[in-house]
Amino acid sequence: MVQENPLPERLDRSVQDFRRYLEGERARSVHTVRAYVADVESLLYFATAEGVVDLPALELGTLRRWLGSQSEGGMSRATLSRRAATARAFTSWALREELISVDPALRLQAPKRDHPLPGVLHRQQIGRILERLEEDASEGSPIAVRNRAVVELLYATGIRVGELVGLDIDDLDADRRTLRVLGKGNKERTVPFGVPAAHAVDDWLRRGRGRLVTELSGPALFLGARGNRMDQRQARTVVSELLEALGDTASSGPHALRHTAATHLLDGGADLRAVQEILGHSSLATTQIYTHVSVERLRNSYQQAHPRA
| CATH number for the domain formed by residue range(s) 123-305 | 1.10.443.10
Domains in the chain: boundaries: 9-96, 123-305
Is-catalytic flag, 281?
yes
pLDDT tens for 98-129 read 999 999 998 888 666 555 555 788 889 999 99
pLDDT tens for 34-58 read 999 999 999 999 999 999 999 999 9
Of residues 113, 184, 189, 199, which has the active-site annotation? 184
Q: What percent of the chain has pLDDT over 70?
A: 88
Of residues 209, 258, 259, 264, which has the active-site annotation? 258
Q: How confident is the model at residue 219 (pLDDT cuts 50, 70, 90)?
A: very high
pLDDT at residue 255 tops 90 = no
* Whether the model pTM is above 0.75: no
Mean pLDDT of 233-258: 85
DSSP string computed for 56-106: GG--HHHHHHHHHHHHHTT--HHHHHHHHHHHHHHHHHHHHTTS-SS-TTT
> Looking at 130-134, 189-193, 214-218, 299-303, which range is the least confident one?
299-303
Is-catalytic flag, 184?
yes
pLDDT on residue 1: 43
pLDDT tens for 152-185 read 999 999 999 999 999 999 999 999 999 999 888 7
Of residues 88, 146, 209, 281, which has the active-site annotation? 281
Give strand pairing partners of 220: 168
pLDDT on residue 2: 42
Output b/e per residue, 189-227; b: 16+ Cβ within 10 A: bebebeeebbebbebbbeebbeebeeeebeebbbbbeeb
Sorted by sequence, the CB contacts under 8 Å of residue 182 that are 6+ apart come out as 163, 166, 188
Mean pLDDT of 201-209: 96
CA-based Rg of the chain, rounded to a whole angstrom?
23
* Alpha-carbon span 207 to 71, nearest angstrom: 53
pLDDT tens for 63-95 read 999 998 988 888 888 788 889 999 999 999 999
Helix (H, G, I), strand (E, B) or coil at 192: strand
pLDDT at residue 4 tops 60 = no
Of residues 83, 88, 160, 264, which has the active-site annotation? 160
User: What type of residue is 272?
Assistant: L
Q: Are 100 and 55 in contact (CB under 8 A)?
A: yes
Mean pLDDT of 299-304: 63
